[in-house]
Amino acid sequence: MVRDLGRISYEEGLRIQKTVLEGLVSIKRANRKHAPEARTIPLHQFLFCEHDPVFTLGRTGKENHLLLNASQLKNESISFHKTNRGGDITFHGPGQIVGYPILDMEWFFTDVHKYVRYIEEAIIRTLRDFEITGKRIPGYTGVWLDATPEKPERKICAIGIHLSRWVSMHGFAFNVNTDLHYFTKIIPCGISDTDKTVTSLKQEVNHPVSVVEVKNKLIEHFADLFAFDYELENSFSE
């Protein structure tokens, strides 16, 4: 099931993720009491959303990578949350596609690194649809664009996941029409290298991009990579 939650707070997104995850874990526990042919097929969910401005810090991140104090966060109407996903600090906000695949990975494969590579590959294939070449950089999770004479290497999609009993939560943040000035208020993903920065699809193609078009392409590539059929609970929203 693919669900587009629209624009919601980070807290609400986390609550929905946990509810779906707990449901999948319950099915997993119940299935262990039955023969394979009698087991319930879980309803995996792929959640799309857009968050109100928020900085989130992963479990291995450093709080000093947030460059604003509590008063400054309040003045700029940005919330801050520590979370249990992997990775360091990143930004979620308007114009960004956040994807939360809530999957029982035992129905697909049980390889965390392969799972992250598949997420990266879905983003890379989506970028290719817009005639942009995405890439991986060894040692840096996420999807990047090559340096040019005018620009350094640029991160366009951050990835941070968590698995509980092989059920996934959290996911990726793909900068589509994102206001990139928010990233100047943090050390994005804890990467302070001067030859690396952050970008968006809008910035790379020099015009706003249809979020609906990007979502459609993303889910098609995810379905192809993970070999699943899907249905939409509702229409995608900009």
Per-residue pLDDT of the chain (238 residues; tens, 9 = 90+): 999 999 999 999 999 999 999 999 999 999 888 887 778 888 999 999 999 999 999 999 999 999 999 999 999 999 999 999 999 999 999 999 999 999 999 999 999 999 999 999 999 999 999 999 999 999 999 999 999 999 999 999 999 999 999 999 999 999 999 999 999 999 999 999 989 999 999 999 999 999 999 999 999 999 999 999 998 998 898 8
Residue 173 located in a structural domain? yes
Domain carrying residue 126: 2-226
Residue 122 located in a structural domain? yes
Q: How many domains does the chain have?
A: 1
Residue 87 located in a structural domain? yes
Residue 142 located in a structural domain? yes
The domain that contains 30 carries what CATH number? 3.30.930.10
Residue 110 located in a structural domain? yes
Residue 232 located in a structural domain? no
Beta strand spans in the chain (E): 2-8, 45-51, 54-57, 79-82, 89-92, 96-102, 134-137, 140-145, 153-164, 167-175, 196-198
DSSP β-bridge partners for residue 182: none
- Tokens 């929203």, residue? 237
* Contact (Cβ atoms closer than 8 angstroms) between residue 90 and residue 173: yes
Residue 79 located in a structural domain? yes
For the chain, helix, strand, coil in percent to 5 are 35, 30, 35
pTM: 0.95
* pLDDT at res. 217: 98
Nearest-angstrom CA–CA distance, 111 and 151: 35
* pLDDT at res. 198: 98
Residue 70 located in a structural domain? yes
Active site residues: 189
